[in-house]
Amino acid sequence: CRDLTDIAIKAVATSCRYLSCLMMESCGLVTERSLTMLGEGCPLLRELDLTD
| Per-residue pLDDT tens over the stretch 1-47 | 789 999 999 999 999 999 999 999 999 999 999 999 999 999 999 99
Tell me the C-alpha to C-alpha distance, in Å, between residue 18 and each of 7, 39, 43.
19, 12, 7
CB count within 10 Å of CB 47 equals 9
The model's pTM? 0.88
Q: Which helix (H) or strand (E) holds 11?
A: helix 6-15
Query: How does pLDDT run across 2-12, given as a tens digit for each residue?
Result: 899 999 999 99
- What is the pLDDT, as a whole number, of residue 30? 93
Write down the pLDDT at residue 1.
74
